Amino acid sequence: MFKGIEHTAIATPNPERLAQWYVDVLGFRINYRYGPFVFAKAPDGSMLEFIPSSGEVPGQTLQTPGIRHLAIAVDDFDLALEDLKQKNVSWVGEPRTSDEGNRLAFFEDGDGNYVHIIQRAESI
């Protein structure tokens, strides 16, 4: 009955601008607009919805309650890391390898939300 996550929404002061950041930096494509709402689809078919925000942006850390990051799967970690360096993303710490052999690096999107790339050593 339940198939999985169809999309995740990110509230932002400027949905068009943030959606375009995902297009320009991570290779998404804009696939739908509805009033002020913008949907962008990743190459694997997953989607993000960008919706207008209101109010102040709360402070965040990697452990602040709520959804903390989006993980973007990559098939070539070194190539993806270099591509993001060329695009001057703001890094959150250094790239690392987990005890299980997964490689990951955290950075901020155009609004400062945490995103990370990950290449898993083994499929889960």
pLDDT tens sequence across 63-120: 877 788 999 999 999 999 999 999 999 999 999 999 999 999 999 999 999 999 999 9
Residue range(s) defining the domain that contains residue 15: 1-54
69 with 23, same domain: the answer is no
Q: Using CA atoms, how far apart are residues 101 and 98, in angstroms rounded to an integer?
A: 5
Number of structural domains the chain divides into: 2
Whole-number mean pLDDT of the chain?
93
99 with 71, same domain: the answer is yes
Task: Residue 124: give its domain's CATH number.
Answer: 3.10.180.10
83 with 48, same domain: the answer is no
Q: What is the pTM of this model?
A: 0.91
What pairs with residue 11 in β-bridges? 51
**Could you tell me the CA-to-CA distances from 47 to 20, 27, 34, 92, 112 in Å, in that order?**
13, 12, 14, 23, 19
Q: How many residues make up the chain in this entry? A: 124
Share of the chain above pLDDT 90, in %: 82
